[in-house]
Amino acid sequence: MIVFKTCVFLILVYLVSSFPSAFIFAKKLKGIDIREVGSGNVGATNAARFLGKGWGVCILFLDAAKGFIGTALLYKLFFTTQLYLEKPFLPVLAAIFSVAGHNWPVYLRFRGGKGVAVTLGVLLGLALLVPKIGLALGTAFLVWLGVFLASGVVSLASLVSAFSVPGT
């Protein structure tokens, strides 16, 4: 029974994270296919370039929410906290499926974003399940903020902050 429940859980996590918010907003607001402009990325940064910063922030929030919903909320619906202690790989699998859903969404023929915003949501979800992860998330955010304020480049800040997590 646990194998079936885990499979259903992971499929739902993937499908929720596959929701292409930047694609939908770009199509509805500007009539453009976000995959055909700018970086071709279906993410908040590319959307902000073509829809404006306000819509970019909205899409960032929605993409982060996908990661949080898949990692924390669906996990809490399907499993108990005690199961996490017995099988700690389940939230990690949820995190992987969540980022994969955003990066390779079934709804867009597997052409999605880079997974930065959804990873933020995943980390928030994992921090809710495992409080020690909150320290890593806080450190990564401070590194991201510092690099972004110094350089103004979102992708550089994201890469540097990602590399700061294993060191915490």
d(CA 118, CA 19): 11
How does pLDDT run across 124-166, given as a tens digit for each residue? Answer: 888 877 767 777 778 888 898 999 999 988 889 888 988 887 6
How does pLDDT run across 57-71, given as a tens digit for each residue? Answer: 999 999 999 999 888
Confidence of residue 168 (pLDDT cuts 50, 70, 90): very low
Q: Where are the domains of the chain?
A: 2-130, 131-168
Give the position of tokens 């770009």: 26
Average pLDDT over residues 20-26: 89
Residues ≥6 apart with Cβ < 8 Å to 33: 23, 26, 27
Residues ≥6 apart with Cβ < 8 Å to 107: 18, 19, 20
Give the position of tokens 């949820």: 94
**Does position 30 have pLDDT exceeding 80, yes or no?**
yes
pTM for the whole structure: 0.78
Supply the mean pLDDT for the chain.
84
Amino acid at 13: V
Amino acid at 82: Q
Q: How far is CA 151 from CA 45, 88, 104, in A?
A: 15, 37, 29
- Residue 155: φ, ψ to 5°: -65, -40
